[in-house]
Amino acid sequence: MNYQTVNPFDQSVISKYDYLDEKDLPIVLKNAQIAYKNWRKSDFKQRSVLLLQIADLLESQKFKAAELMAIEMGKPLAQGIAEVEKCALCCRHYANYSKSYLEKTPIDVPEGKAWIQYQPLGVIFGIMPWNFPFWQVIRFAIPALAGGNVILLKHAPNVFGCANFIQDIFEQAGTPKHAFQNLIISEELAKTVIESPIVKGVTLTGSVGAGSKVGEITGKQIKPIVLELGGNNPFIVFPDADMDLVLSQAEAKLQNAGQSCIAPKRFLIHKDLSQNFIDKLKYIIDNYSVNDPLSEETKLGPLARLDLAEKLEEQVARTVKNGAVELVKFRREDAKVWPCLLSNVTSDSPAFEEELFGPVFCITEFSTIEEAIDLANKSDFGLGASVFTKNESIQNRLVDELEEGAVFINSIVKSDPLLPFGGIGISGIGRELGEPGIKAFQNVKTVRIA
């Protein structure tokens, strides 16, 4: 059984990959188990040296990595380079902070001594998506490795080349043998990996459906899990907002062709400035065109797969049928999708209730703070929200009342190695990055000496 990768810009075949045979899986798992027994004994200095070497190699090979992303999933070169640079930043962050994150924590007790200490769990299995093929892997694998765990990776099939590239980087850096293994496996075999008693934890970034299936399996196995399952982020603009800032942040939605879980999806704009915002945003997106992601000048590439573009077209069509107005009409050629602007998007429309993964701007007006909060919270997702206002009272109220994993004021939501990342509701369980990210797959061991 094999998988054929396709260039989303011209639909040409890139490569073919043979899936791992099921009979070979036990040795893969056994090798990971052996690697863990050795790696867990490493000290923080040894781990930090490895992470810094990975960072250096990523930066030295960022142009090759960006070219591969452009070919496999359509990311423009400049954005691919920025992604790899962010990966290097993450490596350096955990090289510098992992020891302090996992230091013993003393507990004041009436008699004797007590403390908490952190110990790795073992083999961690990561199931990762295609939209940020380097960053998604690095942000789970690096803190897990820094904490003494070892990694099994199942990447999205359309970026198998990126997965192999990452494997090569880890090997070149001197990662102990089998401490990071990239598995070219089917979904069926992934289930077997999750069920293996050798695997001690699972992390998945992907769809709600995939997360539900994996969560069901880990629930039966009683294994810890981290899920990041997307978002339908509100982008809330009040009348006193800095319009130039708002527009620059709104335009950032077009990064990666809008294929980001934390990209703004629902633009909630106060009625007093809605028309001004629409006019200026329309001018910006009218100047965008889909071009070859391998060109250095390209700002907008295709969607990552043809079926994704077809799904987005269907979602927009249903939203228009529900009463939305196409101020900039949806346009698609194969996987190439041009920016689209919809107004009059009501809270019962597909574009409001579902996650639209692409360059589609959906405008909904509000009149009061209460209405803005109600609209923002009218979603089963809860990954992050952006709020634009200079009013501290409004800022504080929305930070308190928005049901999201993150609230960013006067900025779009961004992931950062320093900051915990994750959502509530159907956006997921657990946190990546920051201190919680490295502790996600640690045994929090309580010690008491009488």
Residues 6+ apart with CB under 8 A from 22: 189, 192
Q: Which two tokens stand for residue 104?
A: 């013993």
CA distances from 335 to 9, 312, 331, 396 (A): 7, 10, 10, 41
| DSSP class of 12 | -
How far apart, in whole angstroms, are the C-alpha atoms of residue 124 and residue 443? 13
Mapping DSSP onto H, E and C, the string for 161-212 reads HHHHHHHHHHHHCCCCCCCEEECCCCHHHHHHHHHCCCEEEEEEECCHHHHH
Pairing of strands 442-449, 234-237: unpaired
Asked whether the beta carbons of 435 and 93 are under 8 A apart, the reply is no
125 backbone dihedrals φ, ψ, rounded to 5°: -105, 120
What are the start-end ranges of the H helices in 40-134?
A: 44-60, 62-73, 77-101
Q: Which two tokens stand for residue 113?
A: 């001594």
Asked whether the beta carbons of 335 and 329 are under 8 A apart, the reply is no
- Amino acid sitting at position 118: Y
Asked whether the beta carbons of 148 and 443 are under 8 A apart, the reply is no
Asked whether the beta carbons of 378 and 358 are under 8 A apart, the reply is no
Q: Is 228 a catalytic residue?
A: yes
- Cα Rg for the chain, rounded, in angstroms? 23
Pairing of strands 199-205, 225-228: parallel
Q: Of the residues 72, 83, 228, 354, which is catalytic?
A: 228
Asked whether the beta carbons of 57 and 169 are under 8 A apart, the reply is yes
Asked whether the beta carbons of 2 and 16 are under 8 A apart, the reply is yes
| DSSP class of 432 | B
Would you name the residues annotated as active-site residues?
228
